[in-house]
Structure 1
Amino acid sequence: MLDLQQVYARQKKLIFFLLAFCALGWGFTPYPTVFAGLALGGLFGLYNFWLLVRRLEKFDRSLSEGKKVASLGTALRFASGIAAVAVAMSIPEQFHLNSTVIGLMIPYVYLLVDRIVYHVKYH
């Protein structure tokens, strides 16, 4: 699971760069709600990815010990996505809904790109 922790560490770095970019976009462009929505979605997406990493580690430990695992926490990650959308919908003057949804998917896009780069580089 060390590789998974390395992937998560790279994800955090990239999300923090995204948040810095969103802060600049929020402060210096005429589209502050779009950048605030991307930041909100990115934060919730990082939280979802953290939950996934934690559950996968627990799943790996359980398999090595021969125990059963109930689930990988899909419901909790789904609820987190709903919470992000609920925040964006409840404060539409601060957060753009579409960019929030796009922001939720950014960690998974990063993961896909990271794995493609890894396989091209090492295989």
Structure 2
Amino acid sequence: MNNSSIEKSVYRFYYGDEIKTLNELPGMLSDGLITTDEYDNRIKLYESWLDAEEHNERAWRNSELSKTDYMTTPDGTYGGKLISGTSREQDILDYRAKLRAYNLRDEARPTRPEWYTG
């Protein structure tokens, strides 16, 4: 599995017959397509969606940490090659640090090292 197949969900909503994203919402307000009340309501719905998605993001993050646990041991291997003492060891340690610091709500998912396809 590569990084492109594990992208974070994007908030989408219907406006008439069209599917819109959060990025389009300010323009819709400034263009007069929606009222301030509609805008505020959409933001509340987005916050509610984020609350629900936070659970999914935490599960993904915890899974990524679990999948790389063995690589941090002195005899950990990947693709049949020892990781300890190589640049891959630092790559995994850096990735795990990014996972732990990951803001589940507001940031893009941390990217796996190029060589790690899971």
Q: TM-score range by the shorter chain?
A: 0.3 to 0.5
TM-score by length of 1: 0.37
Question: 1 or 2, which has the higher helix percentage?
Answer: 1
Question: 1 or 2, which has the higher strand percentage?
Answer: 2
- Which has the higher relative contact order, 1 or 2, with Cα contacts under 8 A spaced 6 or more apart? 1
Kindly name which structure, 1 or 2, has the bigger radius of gyration based on alpha carbons.
Answer: 2
